[in-house]
Amino acid sequence: MQYPVRFSQYYNCYQVINPAHIGSYEKIDIATGDKHLLGNFSKISTYYLAASVRIDPQLGFRNNSFSAIGVFIYNDREGKYLNRTRIYATYAWHGKITKKLRVSGGFHLGAANYSVKGTPLTGDGSDIVPDGTVGVQLYSNKFHFGLSYNQLFNNSIQPLEEVAKLSSYLNFDGSLKINVSPLVLITPSYSWRIPVNNDKMLYDFTLMGSYNNIFALAIGIHDNNKIMNTFELRNKF
The string of pLDDT tens digits covering residues 155-181 is 999 888 888 889 999 999 999 999 999
User: Which fold, 10-170?
Assistant: Porin (2.40.160)
Give the residue with greater pLDDT, 166 vs 64. Answer: 166
CB 205 within 8 A of CB 219: no
Tally the C-alpha atoms within 13 A of residue 127's C-alpha that lie toward its C-beta.
Answer: 14
Considering the chain, what percentage of its residues have pLDDT values greater than 70?
94
Distance between CA 34 and CA 57 in Å, rounded? Answer: 33
Over range 17-41, report the average pLDDT.
91
Residue 237 pLDDT exceeds 60: no
Task: Tell me what the pLDDT averaged over the chain comes to.
Answer: 89
> For 185-198, how does the pLDDT look when each residue is reduced to its tens digit (9 = 90+)?
999 999 999 988 77
> CA-CA distances (angstroms) from residue 149 to 105, 119, 155, 170?
12, 37, 14, 5
Residue 222: exposed, middle, or buried by beta-carbon count in 10 A (0-12, 13-18, 19+)? middle
Domain locations along the chain: 10-170
Residue 1 pLDDT exceeds 60: no
> CA-CA distances (angstroms) from residue 233 to 95, 212, 217?
33, 11, 9
> For 71-116, how does the pLDDT look when each residue is reduced to its tens digit (9 = 90+)?
999 999 988 889 999 999 999 999 989 989 999 999 999 999 999 9
> For 114-161, how does the pLDDT look when each residue is reduced to its tens digit (9 = 90+)?
999 877 776 788 999 999 999 999 999 999 999 999 999 999 998 888
Q: CB neighbours (10 Å) of residue 97?
A: 12
